[in-house]
Amino acid sequence: ATALYRTDYSGRGELSARQMHLARFLRMLLRLADEFGVAVVITNQVVAQVDGAAMFAADPKKPIGGNIIAHASTTRLYLRKGRGETRICKIYDSPCLPEA
């Protein structure tokens, strides 16, 4: 969801414009999901937080899309590579499912 925004809006000077456009895009997706009764799957990347605050954070990984994506999401899953061909899916945030 954020790949095109990262290339079109680069640098902190365009952060506000990027986040506003991303929020509009996500609201449009949510309206389409409500209107047609379909699920919307959004993928996002995370980056390691390397500043001093990361030492005190429970999770040093930070989503690229920021809080905009988190607020627009009902259920968030965290996917990672396991051993070999195994992939691990963890429920990160959900109103109806416990974290796992």
CB atoms closer than 10 angstroms to residue 99: 9
Is residue 98 in a domain?
A: no
Is residue 58 in a domain?
A: yes
For residue range 34-91, list pLDDT tens digits in order.
999 999 998 888 878 777 665 666 667 777 777 888 888 888 888 889 999 999 999 9
Is residue 16 in a domain?
A: yes
CA distance 63 to 1: 11
Query: Which structural domain, as residue segments, surrounds residue 79?
Result: 3-93
Looking at residue 6, its pLDDT comes to 60
Is residue 100 in a domain?
A: no
CA distance 25 to 96: 25
Is residue 37 in a domain?
A: yes
Number of domains in the chain: 1
Is residue 81 in a domain?
A: yes
Residue 30 to residues 37, 43, 69, 75, 78, Cα–Cα distance (Å): 10, 15, 12, 13, 21
In the chain, the amino acid numbered 64 is: I
Q: Are 92 and 76 in contact (CB under 8 A)?
A: yes
CATH number at residue 43: 3.40.50.300
Interior angle at CA 95, CA 89 and CA 97, nearest 5: 45
Is residue 71 in a domain?
A: yes
